[in-house]
Amino acid sequence: MLVIKVGGSEGIDYEVVCDDLAMLVRAGRRMVLVHGGSFRTNEVATALGHPPHFVTSPSGYTSRYTDRATLKIFEMVYCGEMNKGLVESLQQRDVNAIGLSGIDGRLWEGPRKQAIRAVANGRTRIIRDNLTGKVERVNTALLNALLDGGYLPVLTPPAISYDGEAINVDGDRAAAATAVALRATDLLILSNVPGVLRDFPDEASLIPDIAAADIDHVTQTNTAGRMRIKLLGAGEALAGGVARVVLGDARGDRPLQRALAGEGTVLRP
Amino acid sequence: MLVIKVGGSEGIDYEVVCDDLAMLVRAGRRMVLVHGGSFRTNEVATALGHPPHFVTSPSGYTSRYTDRATLKIFEMVYCGEMNKGLVESLQQRDVNAIGLSGIDGRLWEGPRKQAIRAVANGRTRIIRDNLTGKVERVNTALLNALLDGGYLPVLTPPAISYDGEAINVDGDRAAAATAVALRATDLLILSNVPGVLRDFPDEASLIPDIAAADIDHVTQTNTAGRMRIKLLGAGEALAGGVARVVLGDARGDRPLQRALAGEGTVLRP
């Protein structure tokens, strides 16, 4: 079992990703795809007059401030344009993809954060209308039924809270929770960088291997915002029994096969 | 088996629709919901600087001109905002809804129209870049598996062409095809009018019953654009074995139960 997360950042050619995915499907790999949509959400939100706003937690993690209006735009892009675009691209390659969000069939369930602390200009504020949370439960019965039926599940945030509210969750950590729940051997988290960089954005400073025990140390010294949360997700996956996480590059030819071959930053327990 | 289509027109309170749907689910009805999103698509398309454009066929049916940019906006609204909004509302009522478009798992498959003829100002034009078509095949194996698993399928256009392209299809006719494929006894098609009106928009001129043999005659004398295609869908459902179609009102309290009780225009073979 293989879980693949392809990030929603700029510069990713999803047609190339789908070509590679179709090859793996034809080779008989049992897989789930998780995708993001952050870059396009920023564009659409700005075009609709509700520009994006990000908050940084005291521990240094950055996330999208998600009020109700933002959540609707988020769903338009993640569940509409991005998810159906990927499903269509895969269908054109004879992959019988099914796109689902975490609220469909309570696929990704977890607690909503009642309040978050956000740091700006050295001051900490409490934000209460933020529709965010994290995935604690994965509907593996639904995913396994779809996989057994020959479908490729294509999953996207939002998730659903225990109270039935749509909540924005981090896609990397949702992919990690999915990998753990499905007892995946491998989790690939691909974005628009080659992996974890010692000196971001110097791509020559790629760290090829990280042991689980060293993740905290690397996170503390790696200040590039998005990679911190990917490392957090990677650590959660390894702690939950996934044998290997690869933080790889979604750009260029055959990005999935290159990550499977160990290109990028490989993390092991 | 019951298939319910709730239109995407203005003035429908989807929270009320979901209340009623939840009651029917608790009463043990086996159901599929199909929804539209036309009104919101017009609003979002206009806000994004790509305002809607409609074409009228020589036989008098009006449809959305769907180029690639329109299709993306269409997917944002139908598959994103509308579908996930309904799924969330149903989940909050303890209905385990799963939202799918017709491209997911090739749920709604059919031919893309290679060219359409459009009439404007008395002249006929040929349009070739229109991504539209119709549903000929329904993935009943997927729908029945979800229904057997206790899920409520919540379905929305687009459909998928035999070549794997997303195509805009009429939601009423897609609901009719779904009702036929699932051997539904009843199909409810609800919108923001009380049913078929002899003198649109005079709601007192409601036609309470139409026999299948009279649909063509009513269609020819009923010039209100959207009702023509609903009648076409109703006729297709009856011809395919559905015992009763009700064209009813989605507005007001308990709209589904009122339509099931025969309120609206009832069509029988």
- Nearest by CB: A98 against B92, B104, B149: B104
pLDDT of residue A11: 86
Give the mean pLDDT of A12-34. 96
pLDDT of residue B178: 98
**Hunting for tokens 């794997």 — which residue is that?**
B164
Residue A62 has pLDDT above 90, yes or no: no
pLDDT of residue A200: 86
pLDDT of residue A122: 85
Give the whole-number percent of chain A exceeding pLDDT 70. 99
Enumerate the residues of chain B whose CB falls inside 8 A of the CB of residue A49.
Answer: 47
Measured at the CA of B130, the angle between CA B128 and CA B133, to 5 degrees, comes to 110
d(CA B12, CA A59): 45
Q: What is the CA radius of gyration of chain B?
A: 17
Q: Which tens digits make up the pLDDT trace of B119-156?
A: 888 899 999 889 999 999 999 999 999 999 999 999 99
- Nearest by CB: A103 against B72, B77, B87: B87
- Nearest by CB: A164 against B81, B91, B160: B91
> What ipTM was estimated for this complex?
0.96
Give the mean pLDDT of B172-188. 98
Q: Which tens digits make up the pLDDT trace of B239-254?
A: 999 999 999 999 999 9
Residue A180 has pLDDT above 80, yes or no: yes
Banded pLDDT at A224 (limits 50, 70, 90): low
Closest CA to A132 of A177, A99, A102, A105: A102
Tell me the residue type at B132: T
B79: contact with A, CB 8 A cutoff: yes
Residue A223 has pLDDT above 70, yes or no: no
Enumerate the residues of chain A whose CB falls inside 8 A of the CB of residue B76.
Answer: 44, 76-77, 80-81
Banded pLDDT at A59 (limits 50, 70, 90): confident
Q: Which tens digits make up the pLDDT trace of B200-236?
A: 889 999 999 999 999 999 988 876 668 889 999 999 9
B167: contact with A, CB 8 A cutoff: no
Whether this prediction's pTM lies above 0.95 is answered by yes
pLDDT of residue A58: 87
Minimal-distance CA residue of chain A relative to B81: A76
Restricting to B residues 41-60, those with a Cβ less than 8 Å away from any Cβ of A are 44, 47-49
